[in-house]
Structures are given as structure tokens and as C-alpha cells.
Amino acid sequence: MVRAFLEGYEQGGAPNPCLACNRTIRWEFLLNHALALGAESMATGHYARRREDGQGSFQLLRAFDPKKDQSYILHLLTQEKLARALFPVGEYAKSEVRELAARFGLPTADRAESQDLCFLAGEDYRQFLKRNAPQIGRPGEIVDQAGRVLGQHQGLAFYTIGQRKGLNLASSTPLYVIGKDRSSNALVVGIKEELGSRELHATEVNWIAGRPPEGKLHLEVTLPCH
């Protein structure tokens, strides 16, 4: 997981190691271990829902609480794995889950929320990268789309597409990160209207149904973020 995290940033991406963890640890090692012990299903704390379509197939649905939905991180599931999955908190709002935890005397009832990666242990990911992959933090120029140099960045891995704060640029118009040029180690910025893209290159696509849907698709894309 950590190696994939470091390599992802080194290649210019914004990796989500939770996907790799779910694939290899939770839905491979742990599920197989549970089945070997005689379990029929495995429950997790993901905010997501599962529905059987009445024809022996299963669908992965968003959680009841849209602000806590984690269905996107479970896109790697197959029909075989989804058939074994249970998501008991997916039908509740987060506030209801806290109320239930308090009612049952669970110590997590009042625990502060955390979205940090488990192996960071509260450390900022930038410091983790600097310590474990110092070559990633190579400073370079901040430029606009015309190539004009506007400032200096501290390392491409420390910036996210769409980021506005933390650029330390003097400009009368708000500027956003709109791209990264790895060949020249340049961070490309632009105005809000220059954000967005008409193309997307997707890898490791998994169709939960076991096959791609037919016909033209209208998709909503969720990108990983920090």
C-alpha cells in the first residue's frame, strides 16, 4: 500500500491507497479468512448499500447519507464478493450511527472523525513524502498556459489539480492549479474558466455487474482527493 502510494506520486498522480488496501487486504485476505472460518458474509463499516435485483445479481448503491457515501471506494467489488458483503451503517445518517454507538456504550461514539490514511498516523502526507521519497519534492517553476513564469513551487506532488490556496502568487485574479508538466517540472496555473477537461484516461476499470452496460453511457466521475 505504501509503495503504491509513493510510486503513484512519483509518476505524477494522486493515488488513493485505500483502493489497494480494499482490494488486497479486506476483500481478498480478510474475506477468504472469514469464509475459511465458516462465515457466510463479511460486514464492514463502509457507508454504502447493497441491493439484490431479484435475478441473482447484486448492485452497489450510494449510502443513505450522501455526505458520507463511500460506494466509490468499493468499485473494485465483483458479483462474488458483493454477494458476501454487508454494509450495516449504509442505511443510516452519520448522526444516527453516533446515537446508536452511544446507546450501546461504544467508545467510538464521541471519537473525532478522521479521513487520514492509516499509515500516516496523523502526519501530513507532504512530510511523509519528503521523508520517504525525497526525490519527489523537487522545486520548480509555476507557469501559466502561455509559459510565463509566475513563481516557484516546492514539488509537483504537493499540489492538486483545482487547488487555489497555498500557491503564494500575487495576482488580482484567483489562480488555480490546472496541470502539471512533468517533463519540465512545471506547475501550470490558470483562471477558473481554464479548469476542467474534456478527456479522461481511466485504468483498472471494473464492472461490478461482470460486464459493461450496453449503449451510450452518462457517467459521473469521482476523483481522488486529499
Active site residues: 21, 118
Q: Cell 522545486 sits at which residue?
A: 139
Q: What are phi and psi of 213, to 5 degrees?
A: -65, 155
- Specify the pairing of strand 149-153 against strand 140-143: antiparallel
Nearest to 174 by CA among 187, 196, 190, 158: 190
Contact, 128 vs 121, CB < 8 A? no
DSSP secondary structure string for all residues of 177-210: EEEEETTTTEEEEE-GGG---S-----S---TTS
